Amino acid sequence: MNVQYCTRCVVSNQRPRITFDKDGVCSACRFAYEKHHVIDWTERERQLHDLLDRHRSKDGSYDCVVPGSGGKDSSYVAYMLKYKYGMHPLTVTWAPHIYTDIGWRNYLAFKDSGFDNLLAFPNGRLHRRLSRLAFELWGDHFKIFGLGQKAYGFHIAVKFGIPLVFYGESGEVEYGGSTKNKEKPCESVEDWSELYYQGSSLSELLKHGRTSGLVSEEELQNERFLFYWHPPLDDLKKIGAEMHWFSYYKKWVPQENYYCAVEHTGFQANPDGRSEGTYSKYASLDDRTDGFHYYLGYIKFGLGRTTSDAAHEIRDGHLTREEGVALVHRYDGEFPQKYYQEFLEYLDISDGEFWEVVNHYRSLTPHLWENRGGEWVLKHRVK
Ligand SMILES: [Zn+2]
């Protein structure tokens, strides 16, 4: 109930699972300090060589799966694995809800720069309804995308018998969350189930779908919803699946990833300028609907897209805290107007229904919001 801002960056204690120490510094800032000053990256590089030597194929067959969109981060990981470390990645992409023009161009440029890629679209009719259910039930339509994004790579790993799956960064460690894995190179499947599925499982969503009539009994019987679930643990164990974070082995600096992707995989920043809700032009560009994921985060936690971008850049030394605070005041919580109509049509909801959900979440957070003369304002802002 007491809102506290980090004394080093711009994030607050409202971010789920983040912790603050006695000096008022958040766990992500503490980790960033270790990243820039303590961790022995030469030793980590040695560990990476060991891991890759164990997995590298001799006949050119795939030896790792790299999930990603063709955005700057996954492009960087795939590029490094293939061209710096001589691996043979199979890259896999779980399509966004609705591609942006720049997201699609970056995706094409990425595979054209030299990567085999599998692109998966889920059943569009169902995916829209599941997105709507996720929006109603959890105030975040994006969670349904996240389930597939995480699971799809593992299905492909099982199918092709490729044990090594490489994700980019550990979001929990890098951006503030559970730090229990910060000394670990990989996440166990059990960790994954615990963090991502607790309280937000697909079965809960489908139950809600059945009650609300958005998913029929027939669909529940006939559809498998396969890619939203991780493959059976036994199948993963059989191939010896290991999920590693590239950020454990190489210092993770998104701005550097961006430069790498521009130079080597044809990545372009958004030619239309900054994304709504932030000052950034190169992060999270693929999906026309993702502004609403950030906007709902702003409603639920008082932390919007600018906060998350600025916090990270402050930790990496690209922004001062003062600059970050100014950017938050200027852009955080800006409504994603550009694709609003399209978002409503995609979820098949009205303007009124959209605000009903927003106001429901606002009503759950009276310690964050107050209504001043008909206008909702945050009670606390970073200073
Ligand atoms: Zn911090």
**pLDDT, tens digit, 9 for 90 and up, residues 66-119:** 999 889 999 999 999 999 999 999 999 999 999 999 999 999 999 999 999 999
Determine the distance separating the centroid of ligand 1 and the alpha carbon of 376, expressed in angstroms: 26
CA 300 remoteness from chain centre: 17
Determine the distance separating the centroid of ligand 1 and the alpha carbon of 208, expressed in angstroms: 37
Instruction: State yes or no: pLDDT of 196 exceeds 70.
Output: no
Residue in 337, 284, 328, 285 with CA at minimum distance from that of residue 304: 328
Q: Which two tokens stand for residue 257?
A: 């990833």
CA 175 remoteness from chain centre: 10
Please state the rounded mean pLDDT for residues 176-188: 78
Determine the distance separating the centroid of ligand 1 and the alpha carbon of 295, expressed in angstroms: 21
Q: pLDDT averaged over the chain?
A: 93
User: What are the CA-CA distances from residue 83 to residues 239, 245, 260, 353 (Å)?
Assistant: 26, 18, 12, 49
Q: Which two tokens stand for residue 55?
A: 């997995």
Residue in 364, 344, 21 with CA at minimum distance from that of residue 176: 21
Determine the distance separating the centroid of ligand 1 and the alpha carbon of 56, expressed in angstroms: 38
For residue 197, what pLDDT band results from cuts at 50, 70 and 90?
A: low
Evaluate whether 334 touches 277 at the Cβ level (below 8 Å): yes
Residue 122 — φ and ψ, nearest 5°? -75, 165
pLDDT at 172: 78
Evaluate whether 319 touches 380 at the Cβ level (below 8 Å): no
For residue 202, what pLDDT band results from cuts at 50, 70 and 90?
A: confident
Determine the distance separating the centroid of ligand 1 and the alpha carbon of 216, expressed in angstroms: 45
Determine the distance separating the centroid of ligand 1 and the alpha carbon of 164, expressed in angstroms: 32
Q: What is the pLDDT of residues 328-371, one digit of tens each?
A: 999 999 999 999 999 999 999 999 999 999 999 999 999 999 99
Instruction: State yes or no: pLDDT of 52 exceeds 90.
Output: yes
Residue in 10, 31, 69, 121 with CA at minimum distance from that of residue 282: 69
| CA Rg value for the chain | 21
Side-chain-side CA neighbours of residue 168 (13 Å): 22
Q: What is the pLDDT of residues 122-138, one digit of tens each?
A: 999 999 999 999 999 99
Model-level pTM? 0.93
Identify the residue whose tokens are 């130079």. Answer: 263
Determine the distance separating the centroid of ligand 1 and the alpha carbon of 8, expressed in angstroms: 5
Determine the distance separating the centroid of ligand 1 and the alpha carbon of 315, expressed in angstroms: 7
Neighbours of 329 (CB within 10 A): 14
